[in-house]
Amino acid sequence: MNTSGRRETISEPLENLRHPNPRVRKSAIQEMSAGIDKGSVERLIDVAQRDPDLEVRCTAILGLGQLIYAEAISAYDPETDQEVVSSDGCLSREDLKRVYDLLLSVCRDPACSLDERRCAVETQSFFSNETVEDLIAQLYERPERAAKLSALIAMGRNGSARWAEILRRELYGPDRDLQLEAITAAGEMSLDSLGKDLWRLTYSEDRVVMLAALWALGQTGWDGAFDRLDELTLHEDPEIAEAADEAMEEWLFYNGLSSEYSQEEDALLPDGE
């Protein structure tokens, strides 16, 4: 079996991590983060700690997030060193613990920039424990708008019910970008308690807000969403109708009704169609 092509694929981004141009180093990190490779963790940790360029360090921190995404959710708590559920992921506990410890050190180091700490909180939010939740809350309480945006992203990934009231407040806030992040987070968390709020936002005159709320509403699985989603599948605007179709599929899947709904639709079709 010829593996030379595979070796070239791996070696090129590794070599580019030492390239003098920061943009090349960032591209190398993004390529490495696209697929889990145990050796990538150690290299990205090294870049996150030692690269002279701030943007490259931040890219490495976020790249670690891509690597641990499927590994960390509900699978392992580095604080207790316990598995919550069985995981057959590619990364070991030791790898995940090293990433967690790095992120924790970045969040707590006053010498690190706000951008580094924002990226660390976003990445760390895939882990679920009280320490992580407190770091998200602290980031949200900062006065910088960028900090609040990252905190909302982290809330959606983290999934704790602790964030429900913060998200509800931001759903009606004056800052459109914060509003959109709150909408996204509410959907990612499948927050049934925010279903009615998202339903209201599907009547927004702001098209971007309306479409974001439509998708998030489907993700919540909220009982009251069906009629509104069904109504919008017939909207004269094809983009809205398509978005409603996709949101309806998400809603049906969440409620375990996908196959039942498909059978009912099939029954309504004339024979032969």
Sorted by where each starts, the structural domains of the chain and their CATH numbers stand as 9-158 (1.25.10), 159-273 (1.25.10.10)
Give the per-residue pLDDT at 264: 53
The dihedrals phi and psi of 7, each to the nearest 5 degrees, come to: -65, -40
Give the per-residue pLDDT at 6: 39
Give the per-residue pLDDT at 32: 85
* Lowest-confidence pick of 16-20, 37-41, 98-102, 190-194: 37-41
Q: If we measure between CA atoms, which residue out of 105, 98, 104 comes closest to residue 81?
A: 98
Instruction: Say how far apart CA 237 and CA 235 lie, in whole Å.
Output: 5
Q: Which residues of 231-269 are buried (b: 16+ CB within 10 A; e: fewer)?
A: ebeeeeeeebeebbeebbebbbebeeeeeeeeeeeeeee
- Which residues share a beta bridge with 83? 76
pLDDT at 12 over 90: no
Handedness of CA 130, 132, 134, 137 (dihedral sign): negative
Give the per-residue pLDDT at 78: 81
Q: At residue 79, what is the residue type? A: E
**How does pLDDT run across 149-171, given as a tens digit for each residue?**
999 999 999 999 999 999 999 99
**How does pLDDT run across 195-252, given as a tens digit for each residue?**
999 999 999 999 999 999 999 999 999 999 999 999 999 999 999 999 999 999 999 9
Residue 12 neighbours by CB under 8 Å, 6+ apart:
28, 31
Higher pLDDT, 81 or 257: 257
Instruction: Average the pLDDT over 160-183 and give the result.
Output: 97
**How does pLDDT run across 113-127, given as a tens digit for each residue?**
999 999 999 999 988
**How does pLDDT run across 249-268, given as a tens digit for each residue?**
999 999 998 645 554 554 54
Enter the pTM of the model: 0.85
Counting other chains too, the contacts that 128-133 makes at CB distance below 8 Å and 24 or more residues apart are 128/73, 128/74, 128/77, 128/84, 128/158, 128/159, 128/160, 129/77, 129/78, 129/79, 129/80, 130/79, 131/79, 131/104, 132/158, 133/158, 133/160, 133/162
